[in-house]
Amino acid sequence: MTDITLIDTIGKTPLVRVNRVLTAEAKANDVRVLVKLEMQNPGGSVKDRIAKNMIEDAERRGTLQPGMTVVEYTSGNTGIGLAMLCAAKGYKCIIVMPQLPPFEERYIVCRMFGADVHLTAPAMGMPGLKTYTEDLVEKNKDYFLVNQFYNEANPSIHYTTTGPEIWEQSGEKVDFFVTGVGTGGTATGTGKYLCEKNPNCKVVCVEPTESRVHLGAAHTPHTILGIGAGIPTHFLTQLAPDQPYAEGSRGHVSEFLSASSSESIEWATKLAQMEGIMVGPSSGATFKVAMDLAGRPEAKGKTIVVIAASHGIRYTAHPLWKNMKEEAKSALPQPPNMSKEEGVLFWDSSKA
């Protein structure tokens, strides 16, 4: 008999070692690479952690009360986590996302959890999402804006849960910590904890090559959902408020490295086919950077921990799945061939 609820299952995700997918340089360097499987949270991503903490923090403060509506602008995974939490707790929920085809799964999952979804003009980017959502909340006194990009309950949950989990699961040995930059909460909270435990730990943030805004570069379009919103994040900015965006460290963050849209797909595919770990494009990006680090001389014999933020099955409308979807369309014709005269085997994917 158990008394735990769905919400109680958030966190305490596995940390697993990978071997087959490592580059030759990583193997020659005898690097231990560990992947934190955040897709095993009940909502399918690392964002379940912050969704839970931001909602429960607001409840404790009294800024979120029964009968109110939870509202947030998001690239998707935080929206799913919030929609799930609101369903479990009985709140109405409005999720605001850009109207882009790769967001199809996010739209239908949020709707399945009972949330309403507002879609904004893609060309207006993150500033458009933010402005629309803030105006919406301003006009409705019973709406609560979660505000993940500025809500301190975001990095704090990574400091109190994600960081300690990784430290314990790794055997108290973390030399490099690699995470993507969405809100900056994971890098801020988890990175701070790990650097307190090991002052020599290198925290490495990953941006899309097409959007290296934390180095002062211009934002251009990319397909790595969940990272690279196109504006410097509040939490990482606050690590060194007076420091310009440029190459080098920022607070406890040692480096900002990058992966391109195509590299993120390449490495997400490799993780699925060589390790059985199905991840989204942002996790492909973080793993690509982990492999870059693993080939450095200073990584010899070290431990690299990588965040796998979300499950790959959530991205079937994304270019990550393009080749498989095209193959499946040929393999599974509509209408199906119902002939009994053409033998038993109709398709062999090895010969596609």
Distance between CA 187 and CA 204 in Å, rounded? 8
Distance between CA 144 and CA 89 in Å, rounded? 15
Question: Residue 349: how many CB atoms within 10 A of its CB?
Answer: 10
Q: Could you give the C-alpha distances from 107 to 44, 86, 117, 195, 283, in angstroms and in order?
A: 14, 16, 7, 37, 21
Residue 138: which H helix or E strand, with range? helix 125-138
Catalytic residue (one of 211, 254, 282, 310): 282
| 8 Å CB contact between 74 and 149 | no
147 φψ region: left (φ > 0), alpha (ψ -120 to 50), beta (else): left
Catalytic residue (one of 47, 130, 192, 302): 47
Tell me whether residue 261 is one of the annotated catalytic residues.
no
Question: Residue 66: how many CB atoms within 10 A of its CB?
Answer: 8
Tell me whether residue 249 is one of the annotated catalytic residues.
no
Terminal-residue alpha carbon distance, the chain: 49
Three-state DSSP at 272 gives: helix
Tokens of 303: 């431990």
Own/partner contacts of 20-27, CB < 8 Å, gap of 24 or more, are 20/274, 20/275, 21/270, 21/271, 21/274, 21/275, 21/287, 22/291, 22/294, 23/291, 23/294, 23/295, 25/291, 25/294, 25/295, 26/291, 26/294, 26/295, 26/299
Distance between CA 240 and CA 58 in Å, rounded? 27
- Residue whose C-alpha is closest to residue 133's, from 115, 112, 119, 123: 119
62 φψ region: left (φ > 0), alpha (ψ -120 to 50), beta (else): left
3-state secondary structure 197-209: HCCCCEEEEEEEC
Q: In sequence order, which residues have a C-beta less than 8 Å from that of residue 32 and are 6 or more positions away?
A: 17, 173, 302, 303, 304
Catalytic residues: 47, 282
